[in-house]
Amino acid sequence: MPTWVQLVYLGCAVCFILALKGLSGPRTARLGNLVGAGAAVVAVSVPFIYLDLDHVPLMLAAIALGSVVGLIGAQRVQMTQMPQMVALFNGVGGGAAALVALLELQHMGAATPAFDLVATAFTVVVGSVSFSGSAITFAKLQELMTSRPVLFPGLPVAFGGALLAAVALSVLVVLDASLALGVLLGLVGLGLGVLLVLPVGGADVPIVISLLNAFTGLSVAAGGYVLGNVVLLVAGTLVGAAGTFLTLLMAGAMGRSVANILFGALRGGSTLGAGEASDRPVRSAGPADIAILLAYAERVIVVPGYGLAVAQAQHTLRELVEVLLARGTKVDYAIHPVAGRMPGHMNVLLAEAQVPYEQLAEMDDINGDFKQTDVVLVVGANDVVNPAARTTPSAPIYGMPILDVDQARQVVFLKRSMRPGFAGIENELLFDPRTTLLFGDAKDTLGKLLAALKAV
């Protein structure tokens, strides 16, 4: 590899690090994304310049096809479907790493260093797990299959057997660099990924996406070592480390361990998913009544959730908040770490509506303010404000830190129906005497609420 190529690759690796740093803040996120994408384009282009490649037309056709599919997908994907898209991209990356490792394996033999063979076997099995597991998470979030845990008799035995088979085949691949053994290892990895994700349900799925993202990064890093490619090694390590940290942070935000998230359903502890709508009586009101309540409030906190994203009501919500601010009302948005379907979901959704980032407050920073709050407006959130996380040990979300909405003087819920949240359990706060429900599509009800508030 010429020196100039090594320097270019080193520059690309530095750009990836700078891109990750840029993505850590809302003001620099767009630039960071462009820096990372530009470095990736350069890294992919360099081999065409200094290597005498075979099948160039086929590779260019594949790149063109992937670019078109990616561009169309990015333009058409809805904010509510971002987790599914992340799962797809993640799975494709893991599958690609596994395929590249298999192609390299057919050129290896007895003279190949043992560590190279270990890295190759690792890439095949972990990349395959990431591919199939990500496909299942996509199907769950896209509602192509049930979001509830899928269990069957003997599942733990099947998972344990597949894990032992993967380890045994990996050892055999190291001892005998056989392509047939590598393919068999990949197939076992595919099955292992399916068995790993099937028992996961409901709100736990985004955390598993983050974990599988870390798997993909590690498999790409191992593949980079095998290929002697510093860009893949650095990029994969960054993705693996970031995915691992994100998984731990998300699990911590839910007050649970990663092991409980993955295997909790085997003993009845996993977040279960959709449940039945309640028929218990609640206090409800119309937009005019809620508008009067907001008009005389000095302190209002808005809690956005996944329902806001589904209704695409973020722009109307911003207008409502602007009217309140013009009246002298102090208003903030309370953001739970796992509100929506992925970390930062609400931040991105509100940024799309040009909501000033200074109005967004993280859970730990704003929880102490609820006791002095006149009205909390909950728009499409449920589990992240459910007191059962503190009071009901049998609840699947028990132990998860929540927004202390139940400490406010008045609570207004904007809900489409009385169906429970993604955890599949009732929210007792809905039946509290201080709580009022405003039923309907969030965009429609917020529009009526905005008009009524202007008329007050």
pLDDT in tens, 400-409: 889 999 999 9
Q: Do 260 and 381 share a domain, yes or no?
A: no
Residue range of the domain that includes 405: 287-455
Q: Tell me if 33 is assigned to some domain.
A: no
- Mean pLDDT of the chain, nearest integer: 88
Residues 425, 303 within the same domain: yes
The verdict on whether 441 is a catalytic residue reads: no
pLDDT at position 91 over 90: yes
294 and 352, same domain (yes or no): yes
- Note whether residue 444 is domain-resident: yes
The answer to whether residues 239 and 385 touch, using CB atoms and an 8 Å cutoff, is no
Instruction: Specify whether the CB–CB gap between 398 and 250 falls below 8 A.
Output: no
Is there a domain that residue 63 lies in?
no
The pTM (predicted TM-score) of the whole model is: 0.78
Q: Say whether both 138 and 168 belong to one domain.
A: yes
Residue 354: its pLDDT value, please?
Answer: 87
Q: Are 132 and 179 in a shared domain?
A: yes
Percentage of residues in the chain having pLDDT higher than 90: 54
Q: Are residues 91 and 171 in the same domain?
A: yes
- pLDDT tens sequence across 220-269: 999 999 988 888 999 999 999 989 988 888 787 766 778 877 876 666 55
Asked if residue 412 is part of any domain, the answer here is: yes
**Of all residues in the chain, what percent carry a pLDDT higher than 70?**
94
Residues 89 and 230 placed together within one structural domain of the fold: yes
Q: Please check whether residue 206 lies inside any domain of the structure.
A: yes
Burial of 85 from C-beta contacts in 10 A (0-12 / 13-18 / 19+): middle
Tokens representing residue 279 in the block = 């028929």
Q: Which of 87-101, 380-394, 415-429 is least confident? A: 415-429
- What pLDDT is recorded for position 282? 83
Measured between alpha carbons, how far is 203 from 42 in angstroms, rounded to an integer? 38
How many domains does one find in the chain?
2
Which has more pLDDT, 201 or 275? Answer: 201
Same domain, 99 and 224: yes
321 shares its domain with 400: yes
Q: What SS3 class is residue 331?
A: strand
User: What CATH code is carried by the domain that includes residue 401?
Assistant: 3.40.50.1220
Residue 70 above 90 pLDDT? Answer: no
Is residue 188 assigned to a domain? yes
- Quick one: pLDDT at residue 321? 95
pLDDT of 275 strictly over 60: no
Identity of the residue numbered 288: A
The answer to whether residues 90 and 181 belong to one domain is yes
- The CA distance from 36 to 32, in Å, is 6
Catalytic residue, chosen from 383, 406, 432, 444, is 383
Question: What average pLDDT score do residues 424-453 get?
Answer: 90
- The answer as to whether 275 is a domain residue is no
Residues 82, 163, single domain; the answer is: yes
Query: Is residue 65 scored above 60 in pLDDT?
Result: yes
